[in-house]
Structure 1
């Protein structure tokens, strides 16, 4: 059996972010445009760093406490 690739990517595309957040791509774009979720551009595509996404998720839990 082949080993699973557990390497964390350097960045995530919007569809990947949407899958993690269980939201639509337009909803993720709204989070980015509104400044709630920091993002950048790589090769013309909008991307989010995995550690930034993790911080965004954790911040949501901190606000609800």
Structure 2
């Protein structure tokens, strides 16, 4: 059984970003998390991470719809 809560380092690894990027997402409220223990360690619930990922997929899909690819302007397609 997988743990319910993840460390920030675990989330960083899963998203392939730095731990400081995860910390920023948590502190900005973009990624819900809880602060526990006397030293105030952050934990991200696995289900909240999955919701975050789904939300990012939806935001990206909307961005793609509203920003159509124009081949002549894309240097990667040249």
TM over 0.5: yes
Q: TM-score, normalised by structure 2?
A: 0.71
Partner of 2:47: 51
Q: Does 1:39 align with 2:33?
A: yes
Q: TM-score, normalised by structure 1?
A: 0.84
Partner of 2:8: 14
Structure 2 Cα separation of the partners of residues 25 and 31 of structure 1: 10
For structure 2, list consecutive stretches of 5 or more residues without a partner in the other structure.
62-78
Matched positions, count? 59
| Alpha-carbon offset, residue 8 of structure 1 | 1.8
CA RMSD of aligned residues (A): 0.8
Larger helix share, 1 or 2: 2
Moved over 3 A (4+): none
| Alpha-carbon offset, residue 42 of structure 1 | 2.6
For structure 1, list consecutive stretches of 5 or more residues without a partner in the other structure.
1-6
Whose Rg is larger? 2
1:22-33 alignment runs, 5 A limit: 22-33=16-27
